[in-house]
Amino acid sequence: MSYLSDKLGELIFNPNPVRALATKVCRKFKIGSYERRLKLGAVEKPWYGYMVYHAACLAKKLQHKRISVLEFGVAGGNGLLNLEAHAQEITKLLDVEIDIYGFDTGKGLPEPTDFRDLPYHWRGGFYEMDEIKLKRKLSSAQLVLGDIKETAKGFFEAHHPAPIGAVAYDFDYYSSTVHALKMLEADDQFFLPRVFSYFDDIIGSEIELYNDNTGERLAINEFNDTHPDVKICPAYHLLGQQPAESWHPKIWISHFYRHPRYNDFVSLENQQSPC
């Protein structure tokens, strides 16, 4: 009864209950095409689908046949499995192959370094991975296990990835996110000129109270302050969308201004206004 009352309450207090109900039904029964369900938000983790789909669209316009997607912070692996599901649908639609890499210690969160890692909210050991169980479930995604300070350094040489088009940052900590962002310093060949990015821990609640001087937000700010040719910017086009979704402010775009293909035309060919 409690479950039913909770679900009923969600619909009653939702500002658009009809749309919310339609979304749940379409998601559960996979009604409509993948593109239509993605636009409606009627897919699991729509933020993952959004960034991978649009990264693949950009890749196709730039005539890339393959891209890479990274997830920082795998934990139990639900995110990687979800990325695999989205990638399968998107490859069928756009004929762009998608390689997925998941970065994690494999042992849960390390100990926080200082206040910037929010030790009042996070503890070392949270989100431990069952590596054997997860590997049995994965069909294509590759795990990159170890301390991000080390795995970030050797990733490109070890894997020679296709251009990275989308990245999910879910390391929770400021300190770990700093090392993940350092990977954006790699050669331009490893990236699309604009990379769709998702930052999981920048909104929170009255417990986390994220701000610009701690956590992922601080890591972003410091990166932008020290990298004149690469900037991580909010996806303003999503912030103005209606209905607004809670994940919209978590989508950011990494712009590689130095990229040799940053200025390649990818818009509509005919933009002449009618008389």
Burial of 165: CB neighbours in 10 Å, binned 0-12, 13-18, 19+: buried
Q: What per-residue confidence (pLDDT) applies to 275?
A: 65
Q: Over the chain, what is the mean pLDDT?
A: 93
pLDDT digits 0-9 by tens, 232-246? 999 999 998 888 999
Task: State whether residue 137 is helix, strand or coil.
Answer: helix
Task: State whether residue 143 is helix, strand or coil.
Answer: strand
Task: State whether residue 135 is helix, strand or coil.
Answer: helix
Q: What per-residue confidence (pLDDT) applies to 24?
A: 78
Tell me how far the alpha carbon of residue 151 is from its chain's centroid.
Answer: 19
pLDDT digits 0-9 by tens, 110-135? 999 999 999 999 999 999 999 999 99
Entry pTM: 0.92
Q: Are 50 and 38 in contact (CB under 8 A)?
A: yes
Q: What per-residue confidence (pLDDT) applies to 7?
A: 62
Q: Are 163 and 64 in contact (CB under 8 A)?
A: yes
Q: Could you tell me the end-to-end alpha-carbon distance of the chain, in angstroms, rounded to an integer?
A: 61
Q: What per-residue confidence (pLDDT) applies to 18?
A: 62
Q: Which residues contact 67 (CB under 8 A, 6 or more apart)?
A: 55, 56, 59, 96, 97, 98, 99, 162, 163, 164, 165, 166, 192
Sequential DSSP letters for 27-63:
HHHT-S-HHHHHHHT-SSSHHHHHHHHHHHHHHHHTT
CA triplet 241, 270, 231: central angle to 5 degrees? Answer: 50
Regions of the chain where pLDDT drops below 70: 1-15, 17-19, 21, 29, 275
What's the fold here for domain 44-256? Rossmann fold (3.40.50)
Sequence spans of domains, the chain = 1-31, 44-256
Query: Helices marked H in 14-170 — which ranges?
Result: 17-29, 34-40, 46-61, 78-94, 131-137, 148-159
